[in-house]
Structure 1
Amino acid sequence: MGPNDEQLLSIKLGYNPTNLFRVHHGVGSDQ
């Protein structure tokens, strides 16, 4: 995505650790 990928992914995992709210083209979708 861009230069802030790691930071955005860590924020997402803080709010959604089990990946319940998944978006196909969102942050962390390639994992």
Structure 2
Amino acid sequence: MSDGGFGFGFGGGFSLIVVLFILLIIVGCSCFI
């Protein structure tokens, strides 16, 4: 029962949202710098 190899234990949907949110922050910071 792996949800993409993240191992959060919340499920594939939650881990996917977290990853997208982190990528959004990284891209946003890159644009503002």
Q: TM-score range by the shorter chain?
A: 0.3 to 0.5
- Point out the structure with the larger helix share: 2
- The higher radius of gyration belongs to 2
TM-score (norm 1): 0.37
Higher relative contact order structure (alpha carbons within 8 Å, sequence separation ≥ 6): 1
TM-score normalized with structure 2 length: 0.36
